[in-house]
Chains A and B, each alone.
Chain A
Amino acid sequence: MKILVQDAAFDAGAELNDFTKAQSNMGAVVSFTGIVRDLDAGLKQMDIEHYPGMTERALEKIASDAMGRWNLGDVLVIHRFGALKPEDVIMMVATASKHRKDAFEAADFLMDFLKSRAPFWKKEQTGAAQDWVNSKQEDEDALTRWE
């Protein structure tokens, strides 16, 4: 299990290759990469704030829960904080398992919990305006399917 919380940019492709190579006898690797998007074509910057200490604890708990729930060989979570631009990679998760279903479901689970249970907050800067991104009820509702 590898959990990284960092301000530095990272190469999601290289991380995925390293993760895949480090596995032994795993038949499946699933990954998700989150990218800063600019849906309204005015986003200048996205600032991500987090709670050092709690962030790592929360991510470790989410990853451990996934390891306990599915038959996984390994889990990788990388999440950035600080100032990001449109098209920058924000975060990635990867899961490895013997069969694909475990890796798929665990990656989906990790993303659902990472969205609303890991202490990150996004602020969007569009021109002169700055606004905190509101949480979505659908993200909260998504957690109920794992109960």
Chain B
Amino acid sequence: MNVLYFAWVRERIGVPKEQIDTSAATVMDLVEELRAREERYALAFSDMSALRVAVDQDLSDFDASLEGVREIAFFPPMTGG
């Protein structure tokens, strides 16, 4: 699945987008998988209260299922307007 990162999450992880093969059942399972992978992920995902997630371009929750999902994005709270 495509995993996208925005704002400081993108800066900490070092790429805006990557293709990840995962069998994670939920968003949080994917986060755990990434955290275990490398330090930069552990750092980016150290405080989940500072993060938001979109699943297939809709705002979602960390316990959301990844079944059939094509795109997931992690970012800080939005600051538009």
Q: Which residues of A contact B (CB under 8 A)?
A: 34, 49, 51, 53-54, 57-58, 79, 90-91, 111, 114-123, 132-135, 140
Q: Closest chain B residue to A93 by CB distance? A: B81
| Nearest CB of A to B33, in Å | 22
Asked if A120 and B78 make an inter-chain contact with CB atoms under 8 angstroms apart, the answer reads: yes
Q: Which of B30-81 contact A (CB under 8 A)?
A: 54, 57-59, 73, 75-81
Size of chain B's interface in residues, with CB distance under 8 A? 16
List of B residues within 8 angstroms of A91 by Cβ: 80-81
How many angstroms between the C-alpha atoms of A132 and B78 in the bound complex? 11
Least CB distance from A14 to B in Å reads: 21
B residues in contact with A116, CB < 8 Å: 77-80
Judging by beta carbons under 8 Å apart, are B54 and A119 in contact?
yes
| 29 A-B pairs in the complex with CB atoms less than 8 angstroms apart | A49-B6, A49-B7, A51-B4, A51-B57, A51-B75, A53-B57, A54-B57, A58-B59, A91-B80, A91-B81, A114-B81, A115-B78, A115-B81, A116-B79, A118-B80, A119-B73, A119-B78, A120-B79, A120-B80, A120-B81, A121-B6, A121-B76, A122-B80, A132-B76, A132-B79, A135-B76, A135-B77, A135-B78, A140-B77
Alpha-carbon distance A116/B78, docked complex (angstroms): 5
Give 8 nearest A-B pairs by CB, closest first.
Answer: A120-B80, A135-B77, A121-B7, A54-B57, A115-B81, A118-B80, A122-B79, A133-B79
